[in-house]
Structures are given as C-alpha cells and as structure tokens.
Amino acid sequence: MAVDGGNMAQAVIDTAYNERKRLHTGRSRTVAVVLFGLLIALGFFLALVVGKADPNTPPTCDGKTMTRHSECRIWSSRGGGGTYSYDEMIDRRESGNGVWRVVGFGGAGVAAVLMVVSIAKLNPNRPWGQPVGAACPRCRELNLREKHTVHSVTRGRTTHRYSGIVTLCTPACGFSAIRQR
C-alpha cells in the first residue's frame, strides 16, 4: 500500500496534540481511575461474594441441600470424582472459594497499584513530553517539548503503526514538527 508520507506525518502530530489535550484536561486520568476502580470492585466482588468463606451452610449435592449423614457421588471425566461426605463437600466448596479469594484480592491489588501509577503518570499538571533545549523557530521562546508518538491505523485485520518524535510548542504558538528517531 502506498503511504502518503506527508499525511501520515500530520496524523502522528495530530495524535500528539490529542494526547497532550487528554493529559492536560485530566480526561486520561479520569478514564484510568474509572477503569481500575471497576476492576478493584470486581476483584472484591469475586473475593467477598463469589469466594465467601461459608463453612457453616450445608453443602449441596447436584443442586440438593445435603444433610449431615448424606453422601454425594460425583462422576467426573476429568478426575476428582468419587463419593464425598457432608464435611468433604464443605471442604471442596471452601477450597474452590479460596481460589476465588486469591484471584479476587490478587486482581484488586494489581489494579490498585496500576491505578496509583496511572494517577501519578497522568497528572494534568505534568507537562507533556520532554523539554527540548532549543528555542522555538516560530516564537523564539524555550517552550518546545518532544515525545515519541505512535499513530495506529487499523484496516481490516492489519494495524499500521506510524511513529516519530513529535515536537510541539505551546498551543498559543502552534509550532509543530516531527522527525524520525
């Protein structure tokens, strides 16, 4: 496919503009906090509701509540079949619940760490990119900052990635440039 180099360079610059805007309005951070907040809630739900420790409720066998003296026969083609007593069925249930607690609390912990990292990284007061030690050719001020930026275009199953180091001046000046690494 023929690629129009000029248009793609402008597309990468536009991507950088959009990233800077989302960073400074705090939108990126809001999205990250909501997303990780939902994952933390899901983790707690799995750990505390799905994986709730419940050693006193009678176990069920094939959907029927067991009594103290009943047995449960489980057929399984994957192993783990057999005949289980009331207490053994409670143990089976509790070990299954334990797995959900590990998954739930583990997932919530990872999401919490990622949330803290993204709050710091996506701080709206944090400037976009790295400072450039040269004056802007348009406004002559030392306001230039640069960042490696990727613009992805998906056509069907193929994703094309165009990237470059984008240099931006302040929005008031509007100067932009792109170069390859």
SS (H, E, C) the chain: CCCCHHHHHHHHHHHHHHHHHHHHHCHHHHHHHHHHHHHHHHHHHHHHHHCCCCCCCCCEECCEECCCCCEEEECCCCCCCEEEEHHHHHHHHHHHHHHHHHHHHHHHHHHHHHHHHHHHHCCCCCCCCEECCCCCCCCCCCCCEEEEEEEEEEECCEEEEEEEEEEECCCCCCCEEEECC
Least distance to Zn ion from the beta carbon of 23, Å?
Answer: 19
Residue with Cβ nearer Zn ion (32 or 173): 173
Residue with Cβ nearer Zn ion (169 or 178): 169
Least distance to Zn ion from the beta carbon of 25, Å?
Answer: 21
Least distance to Zn ion from the beta carbon of 103, Å?
Answer: 51
Residue with Cβ nearer Zn ion (105 or 175): 175
Least distance to Zn ion from the beta carbon of 136, Å?
Answer: 3
Footprint of Zn ion (CB under 5 A): 136, 138-139, 169, 173, 175
Residue with Cβ nearer Zn ion (48 or 177): 177
Residue with Cβ nearer Zn ion (16 or 72): 16
Least distance to Zn ion from the beta carbon of 135, Å?
Answer: 8
